[in-house]
Chains A and B, each alone.
Chain A
Amino acid sequence: MNTSMLLGKLSLDALPFYSPIAAAGAAVIVFGGLGVIALITWLRAWPYLWREWFTSTDHKKIGMMYVGLALVMLMRGFVDALMMRAQQAMAMNAEGYLTPDHFQQIFSSHGTIMIFFMAMPFLFGLMNYVVPLQLGARDVAFPLMNAISFWLTAAGAALVMVSLVIGVFSTGGWSGYPPYTELSYSPTVGVDYWIMALLVSGVGTTLGAINLVVTIYKMRAPGMKLMQMPLFCWTALCASLLAVFALPGLTVAAGLLGLDRYLGMHFFTNDGGGNVMNYANLFWIFGHPEVYILILPAFGIFSSVIPTFSQKKLFGYNVLVYATMCIAVLSFTVWLHHFFTMGADANVNAFFGIMTMVIAVPTGVKVYDWILTMFRGRLRFDTPMLWSIAFIVTFVIGGMTGVILAIPPLDYVFHNTLFLIAHFHNMLIPGVLFGLFAGYAYWFPKATGFPLDEAWGRRAFIFWVVGFYLAFMPLYALGFTGAPRRMAYYDQPEWQIYFVIAAIGALSVLAGIICQVIQLVVSIRNRDRTTSFAGDPWGGQTLEWATSSPPPEYNFAVLPRVNSLDAFEEAKESGQPYVWPEKYDPIEVPRNSMTGVLLGGTSFVLGFAAVWHIWWLAALSLLGVIGIVIARSFATDTTRFISADEVKAHESRWRTAVLAQGKASS
């Protein structure tokens, strides 16, 4: 490719006319994006969005933006999944409608998006929204940094989306193994997009994780000891610590790969003294903890949902806390299980296999504790609870196949086959995704004031569970026959029926998603009937329910004093759940700031310029990033006060709502 000073490697060839399907995809993105922009303009919503959302430093709004970003990326990831399932259902004897090159981009973007731009933002969104409320805090420790984290994540996601329209995406999978991803084998910009997207969003995620760690350590309500935090905060703490310590692995792996590609170095090349094995090592030092970063907060959600809907206390709080810590620490000791088949000697393989199995113990104890929480309860089967029950049963199957993979001689057979794909979807969908859905349904009324529609929620649930089993159980079977992952077509006629069943499963999931969209619409339409400002729709046990729905910007007019676990539940038992003092003080909150958006935008440009080797632009935006940070450090007057009258007005409105519900004394 020839490069120019002005545009680097960028030219008209970058547009996706290499395949009609890719061009159609690009068109959807472009016109969809333009449509959204037009709609916002037509509604004259820009000033509102800018003022209330884009420049906001309120952890609740940032949390919701994270979830919104995740839902958008989910759609993209799901379209990818459907395309793959359709391809494999048809692809007997190199038929199918996708070229291998296109198929490869799809599984790479599916994996990358689902892990980094769907699951992580979704979890960070929920944690952002819920953790300060559960801690009885006014905000996270560093509100502005929180906004920056979000916008950097969004910039990374935008880079992935742009690759669909301008240029191509990586074909190296979400793990991006060299030497395949080295310049000599992947000369296009795809891998560069992948690297830049991960590096940019990685910075955001690290900052976000630091923020949560500090919030949990230092911002708890007066009196709240660590062992009195709700379990979700514990899992958020452990997941954040994992992110702080694991993400460097990704940064180093992707960064060194980038240096190979950009500066001709020899970290992972086939020649010049490169060592491809070190990439696998570095990547999985990050990659394994990563899957626990995803699952731990989900565990926390289930630990909030199950007791609430069992109308009972959580069983074995201490044990659950220790089990969470165990899992977090152990997850740093097992990474080699992703490359048992690289050829390390039996002592090494056996050691890491054994360490991996140890994790099954604390996880199993958690499962038992959830069951015992339901034991002798009064179970209400609202949708969050349904997701939780489906999780327990299905997750155990995935855990068992995980342990199978942890036995090195068995992994020699199953590695890189569809058995592995089935294992991890079996963890990610019933574990992470069902957890996210449970949390979404559980905290939705907190964030908006009205609940999600139950009937459509149940329908979605049925389609999802059935769809999951149909889509992934056949892959276990295929794994036994040695069917490999990332396969665009095959020549074994007897495989096809399994792929067809899997495609039907994906369609069922699609039906589930459609139900969820309808659910959202129906719920919004019915909100006049269902809205409740009082704030405690489920009979919750933790502090986030001790505010109005939606909570005011400052969360708590008076910071609650906490001296027990399940503070809100205890307060209700003692008959004094709410405190409404006579007099309120003004409350200091951070002002809005456009630093986050600016940094996100500039980083996006930086990433894009680097992908296309437009060096002048890259240098300029790098200076921009540094300049923005320095300029911001000179800002004074970064907070404002909410007046006592305003606080009082809100609190008395809320008080009226609560009293009207007759809940104040229950």
Chain B
Amino acid sequence: MSGAWEGELGGHKVRQPVAEARHERRRYVWGLGFALVLTCAAFGLVVFKILSGPALLAAIGALALLQIVVQFRFFLHIDLSRSKREDLQLILFTGLLILIMVGGSLWILTSLDQRMIG
């Protein structure tokens, strides 16, 4: 087990983390900006009644999806680089299963609801 972080800061590895940290801080700021814009867009669409009906639902759905991708990219650091491939695979697989389960459930239950009324 290694000691406290500062202890090793005295070594030659100092520069690297600092540069990296600066880069990373910028990413968080960008991420926050994007997320704010997307959130406000979604709420704005609803509050100012810019769209309505299915078009509105589709639009806020798309904005949500976009924001999820943005947060994965900027906050959770998931991208297409090789070292993250296993995690990306896992996430995409989960996405597929969620699609199957949620889509399937909605399909099944709406069908049942319709047929129960006669």
Q: Which residues of A contact B (CB under 8 A)?
A: 217, 245, 249, 275, 277-278, 281-282, 285, 332-333, 335-336, 342-345, 347-348
Q: Which of B97, B100, B101, B108 contacts A344 (CB 8 A)?
A: B108
Main SS of chain A's interface residues?
Answer: helix
Cβ contact within 8 Å between B105 and A285: yes
| B6 at the A interface (CB under 8 A) | no
Residues of A within 8 A of B111 (CB): 344-345, 347-348
Given the interface contacts A332-B100, A333-B100, A344-B115, does A277 sit within 8 Å of B86 by beta carbon? no
A178 to B63, CA, bound (A): 38
Q: Are B109 and A281 in contact (CB under 8 A)?
A: yes
Indicate if the CB atoms of B97 and A245 lie closer than 8 Å: yes
Interface residues in chain B, defined as those with a beta carbon under 8 Å from any beta carbon in chain A:
86, 94, 97, 100-101, 104-105, 107-109, 111-112, 114-116
Across-interface contacts of A275 in B (CB, < 8 A): 109
Q: Output the least CB separation between B98 and chain A (Å).
A: 9
Whether A277 contacts B112 by the Cβ 8 Å rule is yes
Q: Taking A245-B94, A343-B115, A343-B116 as contacts, is the C-beta distance between A348 and B100 under 8 angstroms? A: no
Assembled-state Cα–Cα distance A285/B107 (Å) = 14
Q: How far is the CA of A316 from the CA of B9 in the complex (A)?
A: 53
Min CB–CB distance A640 → chain B (angstroms)? 14
Give Cα A332–Cα B114 distance, bound, in whole angstroms.
24
* Complex CA–CA separation, A335 to B108 (angstroms): 10
Q: Name the distance in Å between A249's Cβ and chain B's nearest Cβ.
A: 8
Which chain B residues border A348 with CB–CB below 8 Å?
A: 107-108, 111
- Given known A-B contacts A245-B94, A345-B115, A278 and B100 have beta carbons under 8 A apart: no
**Smallest CB–CB gap between A347 and chain B, Å?**
8
Closest-CB distance, B104 to chain A (whole angstroms): 7
Q: Which of A285, A342, A345 contacts B101 (CB 8 A)?
A: A285
Say whether B115 contacts A332, CB under 8 Å.
no
Residues of chain A within 8 A of B104, CB atoms compared? 285, 333, 335-336
Instruction: State whether A343 touches B112 (Cβ < 8 A).
Output: yes
Nearest Cβ distance between residue A248 and chain B, in whole angstroms?
9
- A332 contacts across to B, CB distance below 8 A: 97, 100-101
Chain A residues with CB under 8 Å of B107's CB are: 348
- The answer to whether A281 and B97 touch across the interface, beta carbons within 8 angstroms, is no
Residues of A within 8 A of B115 (CB): 343-345
CB pair A344–B105 under 8 Å, yes or no, is: no
Q: CA of A126 to CA of B105 in the docked complex: distance in angstroms?
A: 34
The CA of A278 and the CA of B107, in the complex, are separated in Å by 12
- A278-B109, A345-B114 known; 12 new pairs, CB 8 Å cut-off, are A245-B97, A275-B109, A277-B109, A277-B112, A335-B104, A342-B112, A343-B112, A343-B115, A343-B116, A344-B111, A344-B115, A345-B115
